[in-house]
Amino acid sequence: MLVTDFDGTLADIGPDPARSAAVPEALDALRRLARLLRQVVVLSSRTSTELERLVPLSGVRLIGDSGLAPPTPDEKRALERFNGEAAKLMASVSGAWLEIKPASTTVHLRNAQITGEEAMALLRPLLKDTGLYGAQGRKVIEVHTAFAGKGTALTKLLDEVEPGGVIALGDDENDRSAFEVLSGSEMPHMCIGISSPEVRPDLFARCDLVLGSPRQATAFLQMLADWASASLETSRSG
């Protein structure tokens, strides 16, 4: 099974998320891998609707909103309170904006004149009051219910699919829990990080390989597709 993030992994990150697009060769590699592997999954903090537009591939499973479960009524109220009060707090920060999703909220800071640390300082009392969890990413703050995220989603995937092995790719703080889950697994696995100056180096402490860009990640996926195809041909001829 292959599990990959989208932004910063399959696509370069730019100032406008709406204009992001996957490296074309990466999509081609995923298309090939979907025919060769037990399951290919794109696990992203993007909404499912966005992923359908960005990864229009048959056979590739798309899991949006970091795989978060629908919020309970109490969690929904907490998110709604956060969204309303955070919008007021961030209104004075030019370039900052909130992206409200079904089970989470992303505070976008890429075009803002404020650091992630400064934004967290503003939001921390509100996070505490609402009981929500906030984590800094690449010029964003991801907010959702505590004890949830990509690690939880990956654990569910492993139980559901029961793969013989897993490769996971990611580039940002919300991929950390997935790396931790997989690196602690006894099944054959490979964690691959895509580095950038915007993340702490210790994010990749559990990774087996660290690449430098989505282009390098694409080259890896192409190589993986070539290997899987050759292995299938060998098994058929044998």
pLDDT in tens, 189-198: 999 999 999 9
- Rounded to an integer, the average pLDDT of 177-189 is 95
Please state, in angstroms and rounded to a whole number, the distance separating the CA atoms of residues 211 and 174: 17
pLDDT in tens, 156-169: 999 999 999 999 99
Give the pair of three-digit tokens for residue 67: 């795989």
In the structure, what pLDDT confidence band is assigned to residue 147 with cuts at 50, 70 and 90? confident
Q: What's domain 2-68+149-237's superfamily in CATH? A: HAD superfamily/HAD-like (3.40.50.1000)
Residues 43 and 63: beta-carbon distance below 8 Å: yes
Distances (CA, A) of 230 to 2, 48, 143: 17, 33, 43
Query: What residue spans in the chain does CATH classification 3.40.50.1000 cover?
Result: 2-68+149-237
Q: How far is CA 207 from the centre of its chain?
A: 15
Q: What is the pLDDT of residue 236?
A: 78
Query: What residue spans in the chain does CATH classification 3.30.70.1020 cover?
Result: 73-145
Check whether 60 has a pLDDT greater than 80. Answer: yes
Indicate the fold that domain 73-145 takes in CATH.
Alpha-Beta Plaits (3.30.70)
